[in-house]
């Protein structure tokens, strides 16, 4: 009788295990969100600087809902030396309640809004004059200071997916700087997410090789899936709420983020919600709210000028080496319209 009872009990346990396995196998989650639960302490950092960190708002609230600890950071175009914020490391500032109301200060704007959401955010800003080596030291400092196990770089736009041999690369310098500095900073897990496909056409981004690069990363197993942010998602509503706050309180608004928000709300084509874009042609479209996710290390390995800028101490030195590489080396085929 005991043997029969044990057999039935073991069968029941096996059925429970198989049910749990099936739930894991058929949960319709993209790989990125399957990996997220492995982390406990996250650093979300703006990849190209400016308002890039704002694209991390949805992930910030999702991680908080899971009980994760989250620190925010951004490569900054703000005059941090005159911001009244504490410099915790050379070129790295803690954005706190003492921050001045400067004309352009996305990090303070985000902190003030998060406080209104009953959040107690830790936000850091990095001077955009640093090269690979000092920026890597900053990432290593934050990793140690906050016991960070998972890094996610956030890019508003998709120039972070350019490898450097394309004809039109938009503003690749700051993005590649962040990627190369952080990829070797020693994080257990490191990812990149990019949103706003098509928004950088006015910056001269060639979207044909951008898609080609995504295909290359897919072949390497480094593409972790995509999802579209919508207004009826709680995270999407937080994103839109911040942009409404930003529009009222910032002297300079984010063209990229407002383009994404317009697409989320169903606008299309040459639509303008900001005075800044008047006089230019916009192409607001449903691809813009798509968040694409990747293994960070795989992108860093594809950047063709990585070795040339590895030891840079300043952004100017980084840029000089990048320019020399671009002058000496051939590009892929010229700008191509997408055949769709």
The whole-number pLDDT of residue 212 equals 95
Tell me how far apart the alpha carbons of residues 52 and 203 are, in angstroms, rounded to a whole number: 15
∠ at Cα 161 (155, 167), nearest 5°?
A: 120
User: Residue 152 — φ and ψ, nearest 5°?
Assistant: -130, 115
SS3 193: strand
Q: Tell which phi-psi region holds residue 221, choosing left (phi > 0), alpha (psi between -120 and 50) or beta.
A: left
Which one, of 191, 233, 43, 37, lies nearest residue 126 by Cα?
A: 43
The whole-number pLDDT of residue 17 equals 47
As given in the structure block, the two tokens for residue 133 are 């080596």
| DSSP letter string, 282-300 | --B-TTTTEEEEEEHHHHH
The whole-number pLDDT of residue 275 equals 83
For residue 9, the surrounding DSSP H or E stretch is helix 2-25
Which one, of 104, 72, 131, 121, lies nearest residue 251 by Cα?
A: 104
The whole-number pLDDT of residue 53 equals 98
**pLDDT tens, per residue, the chain with 340 residues:** 445 455 445 555 454 445 445 555 677 899 999 999 999 999 999 999 999 999 999 999 999 999 999 999 999 999 999 999 999 999 999 999 999 999 999 999 999 999 999 999 999 999 999 999 999 999 999 999 999 999 999 999 999 999 999 988 888 999 999 999 999 999 999 999 999 998 887 677 889 999 999 999 999 999 999 999 999 999 999 999 999 999 999 999 999 999 999 999 999 999 999 888 888 888 999 999 999 999 999 999 999 999 999 999 999 999 999 999 999 999 887 667 788 7
The whole-number pLDDT of residue 338 equals 81
Tell me how far apart the alpha carbons of residues 305 and 155 are, in angstroms, rounded to a whole number: 20
Tell me how far apart the alpha carbons of residues 323 and 300 are, in angstroms, rounded to a whole number: 18
Tell me how far apart the alpha carbons of residues 82 and 158 are, in angstroms, rounded to a whole number: 31
Tell me how far apart the alpha carbons of residues 34 and 32 are, in angstroms, rounded to a whole number: 5
* pTM (two decimals): 0.91
Query: In sequence order, which residues have a C-beta less than 8 Å from that of residue 196 and are 6 or more positions away?
Result: 55, 155, 156, 157, 158, 256, 259, 260, 288
Tell me how far apart the alpha carbons of residues 157 and 130 are, in angstroms, rounded to a whole number: 22
Tell me how far apart the alpha carbons of residues 200 and 233 are, in angstroms, rounded to a whole number: 25
Tell me how far apart the alpha carbons of residues 173 and 302 are, in angstroms, rounded to a whole number: 14
Decide: 241 and 54 in contact? Cβ < 8 Å.
no
């Amino acid at each position: 009788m005991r043997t029969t009872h044990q057999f039935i009990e073991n069968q029941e346990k096996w059925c429970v295990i198989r049910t749990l396995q099936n739930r894991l196998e058929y949960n319709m989650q993209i790989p990125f969100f399957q990996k997220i639960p492995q982390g406990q302490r996250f650093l979300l950092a703006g990849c190209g600087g400016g308002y890039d960190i704002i694209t991390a708002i949805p992930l910030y609230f999702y991680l908080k809902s899971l009980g994760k600890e989250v620190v925010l950071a951004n490569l900054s175009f703000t005059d941090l030396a005159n911001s009244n914020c504490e410099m915790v490391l050379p070129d790295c500032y803690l954005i706190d309640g003492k921050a001045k109301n400067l004309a352009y200060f996305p990090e303070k704007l985000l902190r003030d809004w998060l406080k209104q959401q009953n959040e107690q955010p830790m936000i850091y800003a990095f001077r955009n004059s640093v090269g690979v080596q000092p920026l890597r030291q900053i990432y290593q400092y934050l990793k140690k200071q906050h016991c960070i196990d998972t890094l996610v770089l956030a890019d508003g736009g998709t120039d972070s997916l350019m490898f450097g041999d394309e004809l039109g690369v938009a503003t690749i310098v700051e993005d590649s700087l962040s990627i190369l500095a952080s990829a070797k900073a020693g994080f257990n897990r490191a990812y990149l997410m990019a949103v706003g496909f098509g928004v950088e056409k006015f910056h001269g981004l060639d979207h044909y090789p951008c898609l080609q690069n995504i295909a290359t990363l897919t072949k390497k197993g480094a593409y972790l899936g995509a999802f579209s942010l919508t207004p009826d998602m709680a995270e999407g509503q937080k994103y839109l709420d911040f942009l409404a706050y930003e529009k009222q309180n910032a002297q300079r608004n984010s063209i990229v983020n407002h383009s994404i928000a317009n697409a989320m709300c169903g606008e299309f084509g040459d639509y303008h919600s900001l005075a800044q874009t008047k006089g230019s042609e916009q192409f607001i479209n449903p691809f813009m709210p798509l968040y694409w996710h990747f293994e960070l290390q795989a992108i860093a390995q594809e950047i063709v000028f990585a070795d040339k800028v590895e030891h840079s101490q300043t952004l100017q030195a980084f840029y000089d080496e990048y320019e020399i590489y671009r002058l000496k080396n051939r590009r892929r085929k010229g700008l191509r319209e997408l055949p769709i």
